[in-house]
Structure 1
């Protein structure tokens, strides 16, 4: 089993890097974890809709270049399906039987290019609130770890 985490934007905060590293280390017992950090495009203040679309397209090109046809892709999107930790665990179990690589995508500050959303097998959301995409990385990797622990019946999920 391989878990691929693709995210747009550089992670700068040490506390976030440390937290993500801890969960990636914990996840490594369940399979290989690959983290891919892609550069984000600079977004000018008061960018027009056209400029924003161009930025999303450039970031989308970078994301799509990192995907394999055989990846099962879950894109994090505020309009995605709201799921609980238990539902995530069940879905991961099901998808692991069908795909060798589970790929999770977190976009940049503008979100995700429509082509990335279209390529995704699933759009998922952890709520209607907006989180900084750097913090979303930590939340996502923790929830993936939690999903594996739920599968094992671990007390971690209490």
Structure 2
């Protein structure tokens, strides 16, 4: 499995390709020693990240695949429907999925999302507007949401950690 490392404004993204799909994008503080692989797909992924961080890409167009249960797959598909620059609450996500009693299970599935930014779980917030539950660190979630709001010309939203 080729693995590439991409420097973002909020850390190093470790991008894994498997069978011509991007299967994992993980954000971390430091790049591990050893170097970075290249492939046409990894290069395209990094190009799309360049565009995202430059504010010119709002939707990623990559072949992606995550390993997970059927329920997790449904949750991740729902995340892909959240528009750039918008947020929804975990409660709203559960209602949209016709599973209003499954808020905790949906939040847990969001936390298992292995495709950082590409599957935008950072756009899901608490019902009171707080930034809850983000495996990449709440400061990164705040940065990503503020970046998207700035690109969209949305006034500074009050984001609470």
Q: Higher helix proportion, which one? A: 1
Is TM (by shorter chain) over 0.5? no
Give the alignment's TM-score, normalised by structure 2: 0.28
Q: Which has the higher strand share?
A: 1
